[in-house]
Amino acid sequence: MNTRWLKTLTILAMGFGVAQAEISKQQLEKIETYKGQYKVLGGSSKGCAPGLLNIVGDESERGVRIGHDIFLGPFKGAEEKASETSCHVKVDVSMEEDRMVVKTNVDKCPNKKEKESGRSTKYLIFKKDKLEYRVAETEFVCHFGKVSEVKK
């Protein structure tokens, strides 16, 4: 799985707003405590870039963004049914004690788009003043350290 494919999957996931699961108010408040500017401490890819961790988007597309390239969400999940011209896309979002997990599944693609089928599992792991972003299928990993808080 390459980075271009993951960006396509993220863009697909951002475009659909059918509710599946939802991040609770308490979980959202926990994410809020991590908002701020982050620097890259290390990682497995040149794709790791410093940036602002913030909650972005309107109600149906709300998610977490780090810089310009990393998006996890939408918090409510999403689903797009397969058609003659598009694949079935399902995004499930969950929060565990110290991490946010986004599972995206693309399947039932028409023959011309069969190469777009795939699965992605992204993790945002919260540690005190640090974050780890990981994509399980590609071993893509970024480690971030907090530089400053977001002013409210």
The predicted-structure confidence for 94-141, as pLDDT tens digits, reads as follows: 988 889 999 999 888 887 777 778 899 999 999 989 999 999 999 899
* Residues 122/134, Cβ–Cβ less than 8 Å: yes
Q: Hey, which CATH number is domain 3-149, 2.60.40, 2.40.128, 2.130.10, 1.25.10?
A: 2.40.128
In this predicted model, which residue has the larger pLDDT, 30 or 39? 39
- Name the strand (E) or helix (H) holding 6: helix 3-14
Q: Where are the domains of the chain?
A: 3-149
The predicted-structure confidence for 48-85, as pLDDT tens digits, reads as follows: 999 999 989 887 788 899 998 899 888 887 878 888 88
pTM: 0.77
